[in-house]
Amino acid sequence: MARPRQAATLGWRLVLPLALVVLWVGLSQVLTSPSAKMMLPPPEAVGGAAAQLALTVHPLFGMPPLLVHAAHSLERLALGYLAAIAVAVPLGIAIGYFRGADTYVNFLVQAMRPISPVAWIPLALAWFGVGITTVVFIVFYGAFFPIVANTIAGVRGTSRTYVRAAVASGCGQLRILRRIILPAALPTILTGMRVGLGVGWMSIVAAELVGTQSGLGYLISEARFHLDIESVVVGMLAIGVLGVLSDRGMRWLQTVLVPWQPRA
Amino acid sequence: MAVKVEAVGVGKRYDGRRPSDAIVALRDFTLQIFAGEFLAIVGPSGCGKSTFLNAVAGLERIDEGRLFMDGVPITKAGADRGVCFQDFALFPWMTVRENVEFSLEAQGRPRAERREIARKYIELVQLSRFEDRYPYELSGGMKQRCALARLVAGDPAVLLMDEPLASVDAQTRLILQNEILRIWGENRPTAQRKTVIFVTHSIDEAVFLADRIAVMTSRPGQLKEIVVNPLPRPREERLRGEPTFSRLTMDIWDLIRDAAVKAIET
């Protein structure tokens, strides 16, 4: 029962991207002047660039450059993102649970939230120089706030009835936190982690544009410098594909960690 | 008979935003509940029945009067009292077994012992086939049976039930009433029964279940009358058709009707 339906929805999901590709092909047939090609490279040119980047071994790296850049980006993303989770989740729980923590930290958190990760790049470069640390820091910063905000909301949103039921059983504070509030907040925390991963992707490209000598953001920036617009598009598509895959991973994690919610 | 729970002149007020918004939920509420007794509390909506139950549970402080259990003032919640909430309050992230085990877990009992006790009570409410299911996979009646098992698994001396059958359908309700009597220990001698305080807005439910029925006035809630139930135990289904049953139900309704009508109008 479930399988054919799943296949059908997958088909439907591809309709819109395919329509865009068709539109792209159509436009590239019409817009053939050199300047137009700079604005919208034809699909076959992008395909050629993609094959070049993904299949030819780079003499310096010993691997196809697209894989090297993607691997570097993924490594930095993972470091910054995991660090953000490690700090934001405990902090969010503390802010949500303890009144005191709320008064001292929440104001700062709310004030820093609207400052875009991109705005931190100059300072980060000054602190950490060109290299992986700057990029990891920017990813950390970008992923941090959605996670902390959702963790706070999840903890605050825990139904009073559950807490009362636990208190009525003679349950202590720590156990209430561990067995009631954390699981009750978990779906919201995971939503924050999912949003945070998306922001992490956006941040990493911005940071790599200026902060490093490798990564997908660097690939885009470097290609632009050489007026290699096809490779720019390849870099963008690679980010899109990896973004979808990592979001899939997060959704899978949700179903594993929250088995007690009815599947939508 | 020994007094298990005693309320002497209990008063409870909820402060509103302004002084004029304050609500007096209970005023000078005095009641004795005996050990092993099944006491039902009925009264018009908003008469403070649930407030009293929560106060006995130790979930709410009282403003006036005194509240005792076994002669000791009640100051906080404890494992000697179990609460069954109207909306079940099953923890959605725990399976049936984990829910039933929870009060034992809160008491710090070892895992193997918890599991054994939980299995016994899950069997008692006939949920053995569902012990690894999550609450969202259960019907309303099954959820309520799970909540009953959780309630008694921790072996509290006093069972506090706040309209436990309010959210199940009418037929399930009749079945679960018998279930509650079985879990309470109707077939055991009085000395081995638990003490039950059962809040309900359903008069016939109170008449079918309880030894005594405390009828409350509308807000501020005071004790209007205590009706002693002459129906014999064990309560059998056919009692629902007896003239005594309907007469008692009618008498209690007479006590509440005016206040209940007023509660709707205001």
**CA distance linking residue B140 with residue B161, whole number of Å:** 17
Tokens, residue A90: 């405990």
Cβ–Cβ gap B154/A180 under 8 Å: no
Query: Of A159, A144, A137, A136, whose CA–CA distance to A89 is shortest?
Result: A144
Q: Does A164 contact chain B (CB < 8 Å)? A: yes
Please indicate if any CB of chain B lies within 8 Å of the CB of A180: yes
Looking at beta carbons, which residues of chain B come within 8 Å of A262? Answer: 136
For CA atoms B103, B109, B111, B114, the dihedral sign is negative
Tell whether A123 is covered by a domain. yes
pLDDT > 70? residue A264: no
Element spanning B9, H or E: strand B3-14
Given a cut of 60, whether residue A61 has pLDDT beyond it is yes
Q: Which residues pair with B33 in a beta bridge?
A: B5
- Whether residue B201 contacts residue B42, with contact meaning beta carbons closer than 8 Å, is answered with yes
User: What residues in B contact A154, CB-CB < 8 Å?
Assistant: none
Confidence of residue A7 (pLDDT cuts 50, 70, 90): low
Q: Based on the fold, state whether residues B150 and B253 are members of the same structural domain.
A: no
Cβ contact (<8 Å) for B89 and A162?
A: yes
Instruction: For residues B83 and A168, give the distance between their C-alpha atoms in angstroms, rounded to a whole number.
Output: 6
Higher-confidence position of B94 and A31: B94
Identify the pLDDT of residue A1. 41
Q: Which of B125, B155, B185 is the last residue of a domain?
A: B155
- Does residue A135 lie within any of the structural domains? yes
CATH number, domain with residue A190: 1.10.3720.10
pLDDT at A2: 44
The phi, psi pair for B160, rounded to 5°, reads -110, 115
Whether residues A170 and B103 touch (CB distance < 8 A) is answered with: yes
Cβ contact, residue pair B58, A262, below 8 Å: no
- What CATH code is carried by the domain that includes residue B217? 3.40.50.300
Query: Is the Cβ pair B87, A161 closer than 8 Å?
Result: yes
DSSP for residue A56: S
Kindly state whether residues B32 and B121 are assigned to the same domain.
no
Alpha carbon of A5: minimum distance to chain B alpha carbons (Å): 22
Q: In Å, how far is A109's CA from the nearest CA of chain B?
A: 30
Question: Among all residues of chain A, which has the CA nearest to that of B150?
Answer: A169
How distant is the alpha carbon of residue A27 from its chain centre?
A: 31
Report yes or no on whether pTM surpasses 0.90: no
Q: Is residue B208 part of a domain?
A: yes
ipTM: 0.84
Angle at alpha carbon of residue B128, lines to A256 and B131, rounded to 5°: 20
A161, A170, A184 ranked by CB distance to B85: nearest: A161
Say if A225 falls within a structural domain. Answer: yes
Question: What is the pLDDT, as a whole number, of residue A8?
Answer: 62
Are residues B163 and B44 located together in one domain of the fold? yes
B209 within 8 A of B172, measured Cβ to Cβ: no
* Set of chain A residues whose Cβ sits within 8 Å of the Cβ of B105: 175, 179
Please, what's the b/e burial string for B232-264 (b: 16 or more CB within 10 A of its CB; e: otherwise)?
eeebeeeebeeeebeebbeebeebbeebbeebe
Last-in-domain residue among B99, B130, B155: B155
Res A4 pLDDT > 60: no
Q: Are residues B161 and B53 in the same domain?
A: yes
The answer to whether residue A157 is domain-embedded is yes
Instruction: Report the mean per-residue pLDDT for chain B.
Output: 90
CA distances from A194 to A115, A198, A246, B161 (A): 20, 7, 9, 41
Q: Chain B partners of A165 at a C-beta cutoff of 8 Å?
A: 83, 85, 89, 91
Query: How close B79 comes to chain A (CA, Å)?
Result: 5
Asked whether residue B200 falls in the same domain as residue B260, the answer is: yes
Best of A260, A261, A263 to disrupt the B interface (most B CBs within 10 Å) is A260
Number of domains in chain B: 2
Q: Could you give the number of structural domains in chain A?
A: 1
Are B118 and B97 found together in one domain?
A: yes
A139: containing domain? 57-257
Chain B residues close to A190, C-beta within 8 Å: none
Contact B87 A169 (CB under 8 A): no
Do B116 and B236 sit in the same domain of this protein?
A: no
Q: What percent of chain A has pLDDT over 70?
A: 96
Q: Is residue A49 part of a domain?
A: no
Tell me how close the Cα of A40 comes to any Cα of chain B, in angstroms.
51
Nearest CA in chain B to A161: B89
**Domain annotation covers residue B109:** yes
Contacts of B94 in chain A (CB under 8 A): 260
pLDDT-derived band of residue A135, with 50, 70 and 90 as boundaries? very high
Query: Rounded to whole angstroms, how far apart are CA atoms B204 and B40?
Result: 11
Which range marks the domain in which residue B146 is found?
A: 90-155
- Walk across the sheet containing B158-162 and list its strands: B81-84, B158-162, B195-199, B38-42, B212-216, B223-228
Kindly determine whether residue B93 and residue A164, on different chains, have CB atoms separated by under 8 Å: no
Task: Say what the pLDDT of residue B1 is.
Answer: 74
**A25 assigned to some structural domain:** no
Mean pLDDT of A142-170: 91
pLDDT digits (tens, 9 = 90+) for A66-122: 999 999 999 999 999 999 999 999 999 998 888 777 777 778 878 888 899 999 999
Q: Using a CB-CB distance cutoff of 8 angstroms, which residues of chain B are in contact with residue A169?
A: 77, 79, 82, 102-103, 106, 154
Interchain contact, B107 vs A162, CB within 8 Å: no
Q: How far is A24 from chain B (nearest CA, A)?
A: 47
pLDDT digits (tens, 9 = 90+) for A159-186: 888 999 999 888 888 899 999 999 999 9
Asked if the structure places residue B85 within a domain, the reply is no
Measured in degrees and rounded to the nearest 5, phi and psi for residue B23 equal: -120, 130
CB contact under 8 A, B93 and A170: no
Taking an 8 Å cut-off on Cβ atoms, the answer to whether B93 and A166 are in contact is no
Q: What pLDDT, on the 0 to 100 scale, is given for residue A67?
A: 93
If you compute the radius of gyration of chain A from its CA atoms, what whole number of angstroms results?
A: 23
How long is chain B? Answer: 266
Contacts A179 to B, Cβ<8 Å: 91, 102, 105
Domain assignment present for residue B243? The answer is: yes
Among the candidates B122, B155, B188, a domain finishes at B155
In this prediction, the residues of chain B whose per-residue pLDDT falls under 70 are 266
CB B153 within 8 A of CB B107: no
For residue B62 the two structure tokens come to 């009282």
